[in-house]
Amino acid sequence: VSDAENWFCECPKLYSGKLCQFATCEENPCGNGATCFPKSRRDAVCVCPYGRSGILCSDAINISQPSFSGTDAFGYTSFLAYSTIQNITFYYEFSLKFRLANHHSALQDNLIFFTGQKGQGLNGDDFLELGLRNGRVVYSYNLGSGTATIISKPLDLTLNIHVIHLGRYLQKGWLKVNDQKNKTVTSPGRLVGLNVFSQFYLGGYHEYAPELLPKGSRFKNGFQGCIFDVQVRTSMNQEFKSPGNPEGHPNSGRSVGQCKDSPCSLIKCRNGGKCIESGSTVYCDCLTGWKGAFCTETVSVCEPEHVPPHLCKQGGTCVPLPNGYTCHCPLGTTGTYCEQG
C-alpha cells in the first residue's frame, strides 16, 4: 500500500512491521500451553488452557463448576473437551444444570454441548447437540438419516439455575427442562444408531467454526455462564457418571473459570424443599407430596413416590379420583384392592 512517499505492507494477522517482519507471538510470553494472540502490534494476549488463569496463564486454578465466557474478541470460544463418550449408539441419558450470565446475548444462539461423527461433522454426519436459541433450549440429533429437534418452552428467567434431562432410545428422543412438560420426538429415516467419534465438547468448540458443524445445528456462539453436574449414562440400569477419563476430568479446555457463588444461594426450592449441595452437586430435597427439579410438581396419589403408596395388588391399576383412588382389577381378580381371586 503506498501513500505518496510512504509505503508499507498491510500485514496478515500475527505479523507487524514495515516488512511484516515482526511476529508478536514469536517469542511466546505465555506459559503452560496457552494460546498466544496478538492484541496489537506489540502486545500479546494469553488465552489460557483449562486449569490456568492470570495474565500469562501462570496461576493454577481449581475448577469444580466451570464458567464459560462465550466467544472472545479473537473469535475463540471457551470450552471443555472430554474423551469420546462410549456406547452411546442406541441409548443415552444426560442431565446437567446451568446458570446464565446476565447477558442478553447468553440466550440468543449458544452451544451447551456437542459431539459429532468427524469431530466437525459435515453434512449428513451423525451428531448430538444441545444449545440455547431465542431463550429456549434446543436439543438435536442426527442418526445419519435426518435431524430430529426438540425445542423447549421459553426459559423462566426468574430461576437462577436451570435443570435439563434429555435422552434417546433408538429413534425416539425426549427433553425435560426445569418443570416444563417432557417433550418427545422421533428422528426421520430408517437409521437407529448414533455413531460419533469426536470428543464431547462442553460450552464451546475447539476450533469453533460453526460452518463446520452439521447442517441444521450450528449454534454460533459458545455458552455464557456456568454448566455443572453434567452426568451421562448409556443404559437404563447403569449409574449416572460424569464424562471424561478419568471420570470428571476434561482432556483439554480454554478460557474456563470457576463459577462464583455457592450454588444454593441461587436455587429456590419451593414448597418447603431444602437445597442440598455437595461439592459442585446441587439439588432440591422435596417434602412429601412434591417432586420436580424445584419441588413444584405434586406427586399424584397413584405415583410410586406417593406416601403412603397405593394398595392395588396383583397388577391392579391405580386410578386417581378427586378424593383418593380406585383400583382397576385385571381379569381374575376382584375386591377394593384386587386382593381377591
- β-pairing, 6-7 vs 2-3, is antiparallel
Q: For the segment 70-99, what is each residue's pLDDT rounded down to a tens digit?
A: 877 677 788 999 999 999 999 999 999 999
Count CB neighbours of 195 within 10 A. Answer: 14
- Mean per-residue pLDDT, 188-204: 91
More confident residue, 49 or 282: 49
Domain assignments of the chain as residue spans, ordered by start = 7-47, 79-258, 309-340
Adjacent-strand bridge partners of 277: 282
Q: Look at residue 71 in the predicted model and tell me its pLDDT.
A: 77
- β-pairing, 66-69 vs 257-258, is antiparallel
Task: Calculate what percentage of the chain has a pLDDT beyond 90.
Answer: 43
Q: Look at residue 326 in the predicted model and tell me its pLDDT.
A: 94
Q: For the segment 5-20, what is each residue's pLDDT rounded down to a tens digit?
A: 566 677 766 565 666 6
- Mean per-residue pLDDT, 21-28: 68
Instruction: Collect all residues with Cβ–Cβ distance below 8 Å to 142 and sequence separation of at least 6.
Output: 124, 125, 126, 127, 148, 187, 214, 216
pLDDT interval class at 272 (50, 70, 90) = very high
On whether the CB atoms of residues 31 and 45 are closer than 8 A, the answer is no
Distance CA 26, CA 165 (A): 46
At residue 89, what are phi and psi to the nearest 5 degrees?
-55, -50
Q: For the segment 227-240, what is each residue's pLDDT rounded down to a tens digit?
A: 999 999 999 889 99
Q: Look at residue 113 in the predicted model and tell me its pLDDT.
A: 94
What one-letter code names the amino acid at 113? F
Q: For the segment 281-302, what is each residue's pLDDT rounded down to a tens digit?
A: 667 888 888 887 788 888 888 9
First to last CA, the chain: 97
Task: Calculate what percentage of the chain has a pLDDT beyond 70.
Answer: 82
Residue 122 has pLDDT above 70, yes or no: no
For 148-171, b/e burial (b = at least 16 CB within 10 A) is bbbbbeebeeebebbbbbbbbeeb
Q: Look at residue 169 in the predicted model and tell me its pLDDT.
A: 96
- Mean per-residue pLDDT, 149-177: 95
Hey, do 79-258 and 309-340 end up sharing a CATH topology, with the first three levels equal?
no
Q: Look at residue 12 in the predicted model and tell me its pLDDT.
A: 66
Cα–Cα nearest to 71, from 227, 217, 205: 205
Cα angle, residue 255 at apex, residues 210 and 58 outer, rounded to 5°: 150
CATH of 79-258, picked from 2.60.450.10, 2.60.120.10, 2.60.120.200, 1.20.1090.10, is 2.60.120.200
Q: Look at residue 61 in the predicted model and tell me its pLDDT.
A: 84
260: phi > 0 → left, psi -120 to 50 → alpha, else beta; which? alpha
Q: Identify the architecture of domain 309-340 in CATH.
A: Ribbon (2.10)
Question: What number of residues does the chain have?
Answer: 341
